[in-house]
């Protein structure tokens, strides 16, 4: 990197908290300029921006709902204006609803969860292809989809719809990776396990990780920065011959 204009840009959806925020801060430390999306907590997003800028990198936070194609279009227009490039996309934004058995799930809840967790990453990927692919004159790039161990485990009695949406994201990862592998784009997936983030409060049990940690072979929950390191490893040159791969960050579960 010779100057700021040559710094690679990483876009992290849902970058204002948890794994997304940890990834943004670590990416800045590794020399990336950083763009993040957020939906509601502007102050948290601006705190991430301040940390990225304190690390000497450029930053952009845009309010964009992953379920809204128009807002996604606006986000990429802003990235084109501000940076003129995108090198890494991290599809991290996700939503979770109250713990519930399957028969009590509402249709609106299912629609929202699939719109954000499964369809949203596909919409972001479409934009990434048009800017990264050699077919469009791009430099190539890397996409990391953030799934969940629930895609393997199913989350019975808690979040079957969330788990199913992450299963859809994983199947998408496989197809997308194979479709663009010859065009300079690598596509991989990280599966976090039980990580200490605010997301568990959305499910109605803020202390969930502590409740289940004894079932984890390593006997502890994970930290957001432990997932961030896995994401950024897959994003970078050390993973140059890796695509269509799933990396569990689960403490062995």
Residues recognised as catalytic: 162
Residue 86 and residue 94: Cα distance in Å, rounded?
Answer: 21
Instruction: Give me the helices (H) in the chain, please.
Output: 18-29, 42-54, 69-82, 107-114, 120-132, 150-153, 160-180, 199-202, 208-212, 224-235
Residue 42 and residue 145: Cα distance in Å, rounded?
Answer: 23
Residues 6 or more apart from 144 whose CB is under 8 A from it? 88, 89, 90, 91, 187, 188, 189, 190, 231, 234, 235
């Amino acid at each position: 990197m010779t100057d700021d204009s040559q710094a690679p840009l990483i876009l992290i959806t849902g970058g204002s908290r948890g794994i997304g925020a940890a990834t943004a801060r670590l990416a800045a430390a590794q020399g990336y300029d950083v763009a993040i999306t957020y939906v509601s907590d502007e102050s948290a997003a601006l705190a991430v921006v301040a940390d990225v800028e304190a690390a000497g990198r450029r930053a952009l936070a845009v309010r964009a709902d992953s379920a809204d194609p128009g807002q996604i279009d606006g986000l990429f227009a802003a990235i084109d204006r501000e940076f003129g490039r995108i090198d890494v996309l991290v599809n991290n934004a996700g939503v979770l609803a109250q713990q519930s058995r399957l028969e009590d799930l509402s249709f609106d809840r299912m629609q929202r969860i699939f719109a954000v967790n499964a369809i949203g990453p596909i919409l972001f990927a479409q934009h990434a292809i048009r800017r990264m692919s050699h077919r469009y004159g791009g430099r190539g790039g890397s996409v990391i989809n953030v799934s969940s161990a629930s895609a393997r485990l199913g989350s019975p009695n808690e979040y079957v719809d969330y788990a199913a949406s992450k299963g859809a994201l994983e199947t998408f990862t496989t197809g997308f990776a194979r479709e663009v592998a010859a065009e300079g784009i690598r596509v991989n997936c990280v599966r976090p396990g039980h990580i200490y983030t605010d997301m568990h409060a959305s499910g109605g049990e803020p202390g969930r990780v502590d409740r289940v940690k004894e079932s984890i072979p390593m006997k502890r929950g994970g930290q957001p920065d432990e997932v961030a390191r896995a994401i950024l490893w897959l994003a970078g040159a050390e993973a140059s011959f890796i695509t269509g791969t799933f990396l569990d960050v689960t403490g062995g579960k």
